[in-house]
Amino acid sequence: MTGQSKQVRLSPWGSAVAGATGAVLANAIVYPLDIVKTKLQVQVKADSSESKSGESNEAVYDSTIDAIQKIVHSEGISGLYSGIAGSLIGVASTNFAYFYWYSVVRTLYMKSNSVPKPPGTAIELSLGAVAGAVAQVFTIPVSVITTRQQTQPKGDKKGLIDTGKEVIHGEDGWTGLWRGLKASLILVVNPAITYGAYQRLRDILFAGKKNLSPWEAFLLGALSKALATIATQPLIVAKVGLQSRPPPGREGKAFKTFGEVMRYIVEKEGLLALFKGIGPQITKGFLVQGLLMMTKERVELIFIALFIYLRKLRNEKLKKVVDTTAAKAKTSLPVTTK
């Protein structure tokens, strides 16, 4: 089994299904953290004049624990899972597209070398960026709808389809479903850093090891995602601001660019506010990426074992057909006498 598994490589489709499966399972487990980090990132704390005038009447969250308590008190436990259906659809589609294209471009790169060798850090990051950019173009509408669902007020909750219609009927029309695309394309450096760091850390810490244990894969995935999150947090905050409803201080006027979001946040709350929500963001990323890579490694091994089993069945069936045909041909030969 071990010797055979080393010779079997998953197709891009197999790698994509394994990656999407791992991502859905991981994100479902830690989804409440996704809600909390989104609410922390979209809120802009009102200044004293706004507080006095009553312009801002939405809940203000001071920390991850405070956000969880206030959401549960206001909306019940179900409030921590608002928009989960759309989110998991988005996670599945994004990760399927990412792992598919990453597998494709990496395979093409390896084949382009006369002497196949693992790509260096710069190439690994570039391959991840290309795959991430292609994935974002096709999957960002689900991300926009999910962000809107997660930030809807308690009395204005809508389903996936109705939220999508709300976005389309907004000031941007159908293009509103691709709001934040530029920021998302820049943010492809996040998965690029993640998987580039994953490959580098794997080469350093587990050089020569073909299959990682579940905890080794978890550790590598979690560490690589934490590094990527710290490096790109301001852009993550800006992207969420672009895709959510405008804050009270904007009087319904949506942001147009991630630069505009960042300037607004800095003016209202200071430079450090660009890193708001980084606690649950890192915790979520740490757990999700760790679980994802741990699950993906296991799912890939299951797929490989399944392919080997199916190949064995096919070979046995083919051999049986050949033997049966040969036996029939032998018995049908005319008997000649001298």
Query: Does the pLDDT of residue 263 top 80, yes or no?
Result: yes
162 falls within a domain:
yes
CA distance 162 to 172: 16
Q: What is the pLDDT of residue 335?
A: 53
Does residue 294 belong to any structural domain of this protein? yes
pLDDT tens for each residue of 62-94 = 888 888 998 898 888 988 888 888 888 888 888
Q: Where are the alpha helices (DSSP H) in the chain?
A: 2-7, 12-29, 31-42, 48-53, 64-75, 84-112, 121-150, 160-168, 181-186, 189-205, 214-243, 258-269, 278-332
* Domain assignment present for 11: yes
Q: Which of 158, 157, 288 is nearest to 224 (CA)?
A: 288
Average pLDDT, the chain: 76
Number of domains in the chain: 1
Instruction: Look at the pTM and tell me if it is higher than 0.75.
Output: no
Domain membership flag for residue 18 = yes
Tens digit of pLDDT for each residue in 127-136? 777 877 887 7
Tell me whether residue 51 is in a domain: yes
Q: How high is the pLDDT of residue 6?
A: 41
Is residue 147 included in any domain, yes or no?
Answer: yes
Q: Answer yes or no: is 326 within a domain.
A: no
The better pLDDT of the pair 44, 91 is held by 91
Predicted pLDDT of residue 114: 65
- Min mean pLDDT across 31-35, 47-51, 306-310 is at 47-51
Residue 332 lies in a domain: no
First to last CA, the chain: 54
pLDDT in tens, 214-247: 788 778 877 888 888 888 888 888 888 887 777 7
281-295 average pLDDT score: 74
Q: Residue 257 belongs to a domain with what CATH number?
A: 1.50.40.10
Q: What is the pLDDT of residue 7?
A: 45
Instruction: Please give the residue range of the domain that contains residue 74.
Output: 2-309
Q: Which two tokens stand for residue 190?
A: 């996040």
